Structure 1
Amino acid sequence: MKKIFVCILSGVLTVACGYDRFGTLGPGGLEGSGTLPDADLALLREHFYGDPFVVQEDLTVGGYVVSDDRAGNFFRSFIIDDGSGAVEIRAGFYDLHAYCQRGRRIVIHARGLAVGMYNGVVQLGAGVNDWSAYRVEEFGSRVLLDRCMERDTLFREVPPLEPGIGGLEERYCGRLVRIAEVCRSGGPVTWADAGAESGMPATGTVWFRDAAGDSVAVVTSGYASFAGDTVPAGRVTLTGILMYGKFGGTREVFALKLRDGNDVEM
């Protein structure tokens, strides 16, 4: 009876604590000279239930870099996308555009890493903390990140999703999204406060509306190289990383984070 009881208890624990157990999937659709992943990035979102957790088993994921820090709008992190989903890597150091170039295939060995979420975007980091809004620790150095990451020689451009504002969903967060034919709401404005007068850059939020009346925000860091540029008044097409959160307001909304000024087509 003791052996039967132990087996039943083990099964209960597997179900109850399955948030950090991913099972075995077939190889992903990525190719290259490095390791092939055994799980899709979408699986990390499916196993996130509100609180950060540490991956307790062998798990390899991968994707292509879709954002970098060259223009200053992304701070010490980059995002990879494998076609099923995306994840932000909390690198924690600078000049990532030279280390993990946009389009490069990246493979992450996730055992022992923390999975979290911020503004709807799934994150991978060195550990869990309780003192930061991000809740997921940065790696802090290239040496530490290299212990769990492979940089492949394969490069590929990831095409953006084009669901339209009305078709945006939280499961798209972290992914590159293109929204066509939208106009700025309100009068002349810059993308953010670059601190030209105050000396203190501040994040800016600009709203855009489509022909159906649906709206989406564009959130820009005051440290971005294009923060002080005037937002075009006419109809534009925007491409950026999708987020979902409270951006200067009390309700949660969808927002785009542009990678650089080239993500605005006029």
Structure 2
Amino acid sequence: MRTTARISLCALALLAAGIAGCRDDDRLSYEKDAQEGDVPPIGVQSISVLKSLYHDRTTRITQEISIQGHIVANDTAGEFYKEIVVEDDTGGIVLSIDDERLYRTCRLFDFVTINCQGLALGSEGGTLLLGTFPTGDYCVDRIPAADVARYLAVTPAATRRQPLTLGFEEVAPRHISRYVRFDRVRLAEEATTWCDFDPETGDPVTTDRTLLDTASRQFVVRTDRRCDYARKPLPAGEGTLCGIVEYFNGRYRLRITNHEILFDRQ
């Protein structure tokens, strides 16, 4: 009996450890390069290191740290309102900027250095944003347009940044805010537009559509009401979509960037 009890207790302990391990694996994690007790990073760092500094709803960045990368999303086609997305080979980050025409100064695929000291990291449903420390209820405030030159130095890129080609099942936390490409996909909805419409005003509303792969796996595509093609019909047939991976309240979704859509029938 003692042996049986001992085995049962060991099994329970292993089961508990396994459950705890699953919880750690399943919860959203930002691939931390920095460990607690380490000297805070300074100088030019990767985006993954910057994201590892996040530890609360809003984290103020006090050290002299900067990141470098390519602009992979902006408001050229109206898809990212007052936002740009910057990525390097380790990750991506959304910058919140109070400017409605960012495409003029933060052009797609340009190279940018961001001086992060004095800014703040905040989480919106699981996607990290870089902005200023909030004065209200938001996780971060937008960087004022007048201060953009203080934090960002943009230079033309020599080459166009290429997206990561992924399958739906491959998307993981490290891909949040990354520029990706889905091939051989189709939209589940037919004979409708990218956005639905407000029944009272007739204006587009931000809308989720469903993307299907060849195995009928699903992935959400979110279209902002302000984008240039909000009123246009969805493409038919099979094709390719490029965009930015988002994460919101336990679910991944794609936001198309620069209307990068290539289908059999559009």
The TM-score with structure 1 as length reference comes to: 0.79
Q: Does 2:241 align with 1:235?
A: no
**1:144 is aligned with what amino acid?**
D
Say which of 103, 106, 113 aligns to 1:107: 113
Alignment-mate amino acid for residue 116 of structure 2: A
Conserved? CA contact 1:240–1:263, under 8 Å: no
Out of 256, 259, 262, the residue aligned to residue 258 of structure 1 is 256
Partner of 1:187: 190
**Match for residue 89 of structure 1?**
95
Question: Is the 2:73–2:258 Cα contact (8 Å) retained in structure 1?
Answer: no
User: Which residue matches 1:128?
Assistant: 134
Q: Could you list the runs of 5+ residues in structure 2 that have no partner in the other structure?
A: 1-34
Cα distance change, pair 264–206 in 1 and its aligned pair in 2 (3 A): farther
- Post-superposition CA distance 1:100-130 (Å, at most 9, x none): 1111111111111101222443221121344
* Structure 2 residue aligned with 1:33: none
The aligned amino acid for 2:54 is: F
Tell me which amino acid in the other structure corresponds to 2:92: A
**Aligned partner letter, 1:234:** G
Give runs of aligned pairs for residues 9-48 of structure 1, distance below 5 A: 22-24=40-42, 38-48=44-54
Q: 1:22 to 1:226 in 2, by over 3 A?
A: farther
Identify unmatched segments of 5+ residues in structure 1: 1-14, 25-36, 247-251
Give 1:23's aligned amino acid: P
State whether structure 2 residue 64 is matched by structure 1 residue 58: yes
**For residues 112-169 of structure 1, what are the alpha-carbon distances to aligned partners after superposition, in whole Å with 9 as ceiling and x for unaligned?**
110122244322112134412xx1110121x211112212244432211122001011
**Cα distance in structure 2, aligned partners of 1:101 and 1:73:** 14
Match of 2:214 among 211, 214, 217: 211
Matched residue type, 2:241: L
Kept in 1: contact 2:241–2:260 (CA 8 A): no
Name the residue aligned to 2:167.
Answer: 164
SS of alignment partner, residue 180 of structure 2: strand
Q: What SS is found at the alignment partner of 2:122?
A: strand
Q: Name the CA shift for 1:114/1:155 in 2 (closer, same or farther; >3 Å).
A: farther
Question: How many residues of Structure 1 are paired with residues of Structure 2 in the alignment?
Answer: 231
Give 1:82 deviation, angstroms. 1.3
Are 1:174 and 2:177 counterparts? yes
Q: Which structure is larger by alpha-carbon Rg, 1 or 2?
A: 2
TM-score by length of 2: 0.79
1:189–1:230 CA contact under 8 A, matched in 2: yes
Counterparts of 1:126 and 1:156, CA distance in 2: 31
CA contact (8 A) 1:86 1:122 kept: no
1:144 and 2:144 are equivalent in the alignment: no
Q: Secondary structure at the match of 1:49?
A: coil
Counterpart for residue 9 of structure 2: none
What is the alpha-carbon distance in structure 1 between the residues aligned to residue 84 and residue 90 of structure 2?
17
Question: CA–CA distance in 2 between the matches of 1:264 and 1:122?
Answer: 29
Report the Cα distance in structure 1 between the residues aligned to 2:52 and 2:262, rounded to whole angstroms: 32
Instruction: Give the SS at the match of 2:236.
Output: coil
**Contact 1:64–1:156 (8 Å) recurs in 2:** no
* 1:225 aligned partner, one-letter code: D
The reply on whether 1:244 has 2:250 as its aligned counterpart is no
- Name the SS for the 1:260 alignment partner: strand
Corresponding residue number in structure 1 for 2:20: none
TM-superposed deviation, 1:50? 4.2
SS at structure 1 position matched to 2:45: coil
User: In structure 2, do the counterparts of structure 1 residues 50 and 236 end up closer, same or farther at CA, with 3 Å as the change threshold?
Assistant: farther
**Alignment partner of 2:169: what SS?**
helix
Q: Which has the higher strand share?
A: 2
